[in-house]
């Protein structure tokens, strides 16, 4: 069996999938924000792209970290030029400045990239799942707006499947990779029941870190907590943003008496030390759900919990360095899982490419049928001319059926050789070899009439 090389496939493609993009890896936010396409402008943007003469299908993935345009172009060079022209018009950024940051991918590179993005392997936080939801959203918009044809539909479906598999079949998404999520994860991991059930939880501070802490605690089904803050305004706002949680509010002057009534205390206030070993010595022991040992988790820098608090017999104290270790360990675990994820992505990509390659034979099938039909009709007409009026209607019908029968029987073998459902890459390769051979034999390479594309 002859397997065509990738390069051979590419040179034979009649249309290309092209990705033109900017991302956090290669483009500053000043340019990215000019390029952004909000959801409400998505339809108009893809309609403008599809109105260009060489763009058949279009989709835009616009998030805070990336803006990527996926098109199916009848000609790679012209399609790319048209996308660039649209980007300049849309953003007001001149083409030279734009090109400094753009990346351009074609066919296999392009599909490989979208699968990687969808799997979270191109994200700043490896394995994060928000991007998969964003890819799904683009797919839904592309389908409903009919901006997607069969190529982008197939590509985005493959990307979503790949993203789901990465999340469900590897451990890439597990393990906290931020300080606040690590704080919640570490405590949960160390609690005797591995759950916050029954624990009296307190947070000190109502800033960015405390807000994230509440989010991660709630996601771990910890919905009862007290938040203590210097001022009332911010803490009230925070509590209002989490209606699913039962949050009690208090001010800093109540901190120590309230701390005595809590089992797990997270501290994230931008002030100095607020708990000392002496303070702890005067507190009653914590409840049974923490085995009587109060957990102090200090994520503030400078620290809110005095350095020797961990020496108190009834206290276990963690600081930001303990959390960093967990974050680093989780990051390393994610990197290891990424290797498994890359294998899954390669499998999904091979499946998609095989399917796409199988589409390549459709124009050849149409041209071969068209050519045979033209010959049959011409020869039948000639024969009818020679036979004159001597034939009855029934005889004429029999001759016509004879011509059709011969053509269909002769075409049966070549047609079989051009058909593939795209599931088996080796079979697709053989089909493409057959396609090239038939195109040479029947002179089908340069048809007068185009048989594909919506343009």
Ligand X SMILES: NC(=O)c1ccc[n+]([C@@H]2O[C@H](COP(=O)([O-])OP(=O)(O)OC[C@H]3O[C@@H](n4cnc5c(N)ncnc54)[C@H](OP(=O)(O)O)[C@@H]3O)[C@@H](O)[C@H]2O)c1
Residues assigned a catalytic role:
64
Give 270 or 416: the residue with its C-beta nearer to ligand X: 270
Exposed (0-12), middle (13-18) or buried (19+): which is 273, by Cβ within 10 Å?
A: middle
Phi, psi of 375 (to 5 degrees): -60, -45
What the block records as the tokens of 305 is: 């919990």
Cα–chain center distance at 5: 28
DSSP H helix total and E strand total for the chain = 17, 10
Please report, as ranges, the residues that interact with ligand X according to CB under 6 A. 179, 205-210, 229-231, 234, 252, 268-271, 299-301, 320
- Positive or negative, the CA dihedral 210, 211, 216, 217 is positive
Secondary structure (DSSP) of 211-251: HHHHHHHHHTT--EEEEEESSHHHHHHHHHT-TTSEEEEEE
**275: DSSP letter:** B
Give 91 or 226: the residue with its C-beta nearer to ligand X: 226
CB pairs under 8 A, 24+ apart, for 408-412? 410/372, 411/368, 411/369, 411/372
Give 57 or 298: the residue with its C-beta nearer to ligand X: 298
| Min separation Cβ 259 and ligand X, Å | 14
Give 244 or 253: the residue with its C-beta nearer to ligand X: 253
Give 135 or 212: the residue with its C-beta nearer to ligand X: 212
Give 273 or 362: the residue with its C-beta nearer to ligand X: 273
A 10 A CB-CB count for 416 gives 10
What the block records as the tokens of 327 is: 């974050």
Strand partners, 19: 70, 105
Query: From CA 345, how far away is CA 339, in angstroms rounded?
Result: 10
Residue 259 · residue 266 · CB < 8 Å:
no
Query: From CA 32, how far away is CA 362, in angstroms rounded?
Result: 39
| Min separation Cβ 281 and ligand X, Å | 23
Query: From CA 21, how far away is CA 19, in angstroms rounded?
Result: 6
- Inter-axis angle of helices 208-219 and 179-190, nearest 10: 40
- Locus of tokens 């206290």: 315
By C-alpha distance, which of 130, 144, 120 is closest to 63? 130
**7-32: b (≥16 Cβ within 10 Å) or e:** eebeeeeebbbbbbbbbeeebeeebb
> Looking at beta carbons, which residue is closest to ligand X?
207
Strand partners, 103: 21
| Min separation Cβ 327 and ligand X, Å | 10
Phi, psi of 300 (to 5 degrees): -85, 145
| Min separation Cβ 206 and ligand X, Å | 4
Give 63 or 229: the residue with its C-beta nearer to ligand X: 229
| Min separation Cβ 332 and ligand X, Å | 20
Query: From CA 436, how far away is CA 454, in angstroms rounded?
Result: 24
Phi, psi of 397 (to 5 degrees): -65, -40
Give 55 or 227: the residue with its C-beta nearer to ligand X: 227
Cα–chain center distance at 186: 29
């Amino acid at each position: 069996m002859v397997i065509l090389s990738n390069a051979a496939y590419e040179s034979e493609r009649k249309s290309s999938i092209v990705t033109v993009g900017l991302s956090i890896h290669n483009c500053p936010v000043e340019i990215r924000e000019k390029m952004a396409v909000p959801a409400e402008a998505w339809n108009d943007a893809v309609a403008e792209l599809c109105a260009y003469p060489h763009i058949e299908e279009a989709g835009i993935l616009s998030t805070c970290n990336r803006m990527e345009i996926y098109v199916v172009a009848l000609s790679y060079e012209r399609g790319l030029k048209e996308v660039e022209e649209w980007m300049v018009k849309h953003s007001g950024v001149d083409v030279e400045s734009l090109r400094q940051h753009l990346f351009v991918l074609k066919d296999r590179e392009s599909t490989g990239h979208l699968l990687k993005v969808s799997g979270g392997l191109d994200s700043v936080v490896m394995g994060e799942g928000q991007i998969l939801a964003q890819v799904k959203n683009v797919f839904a918009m592309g389908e409903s707006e009919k901006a997607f044809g069969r190529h982008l539909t197939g590509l985005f479906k493959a990307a979503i499947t790949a993203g789901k598999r990465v999340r469900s079949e590897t451990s890439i998404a597990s393990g906290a990779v931020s300080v606040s999520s690590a704080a919640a994860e570490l405590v949960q991991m160390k609690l005797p029941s591995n759950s916050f059930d029954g624990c009296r939880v307190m947070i000190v501070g109502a800033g960015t870190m405390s807000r994230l802490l509440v989010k991660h605690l709630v996601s771990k089904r910890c919905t009862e907590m007290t938040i203590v803050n210097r001022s009332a305004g911010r803490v009230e706002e925070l509590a209002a943003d989490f209606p699913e949680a039962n949050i009690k509010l208090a001010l800093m002057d109540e901190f120590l008496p309230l701390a005595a009534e809590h089992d797990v205390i997270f501290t994230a206030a931008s002030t100095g030390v607020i708990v000392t070993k002496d303070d702890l010595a005067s507190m009653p022991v914590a409840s049974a759900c923490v085995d009587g040992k109060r957990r102090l988790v200090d994520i503030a820098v400078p620290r809110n919990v005095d350095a020797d608090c961990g020496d108190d017999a009834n206290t276990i104290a963690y600081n930001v360095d303990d959390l960093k270790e967990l974050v680093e360990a989780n990051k390393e675990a994610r990197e290891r899982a990424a290797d498994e994820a890359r294998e899954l992505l390669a499998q999904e990509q091979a499946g998609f490419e095989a399917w796409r390659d199988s589409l390549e034979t459709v124009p050849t099938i149409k041209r071969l049928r068209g050519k045979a039909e033209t010959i049959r009709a011409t020869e039948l007409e000639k024969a009818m001319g020679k036979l004159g009026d001597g034939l009855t209607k029934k005889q004429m019908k029999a001759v016509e059926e004879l011509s059709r029968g011969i053509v269909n029987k002769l075409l049966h073998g070549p047609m079989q050789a051009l058909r593939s459902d795209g599931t088996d890459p080796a079979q697709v390769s053989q089909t493409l070899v057959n396609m090239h051979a038939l195109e040479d034999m029947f002179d089908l390479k340069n048809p007068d009439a185009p048989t594909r594309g919506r343009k």
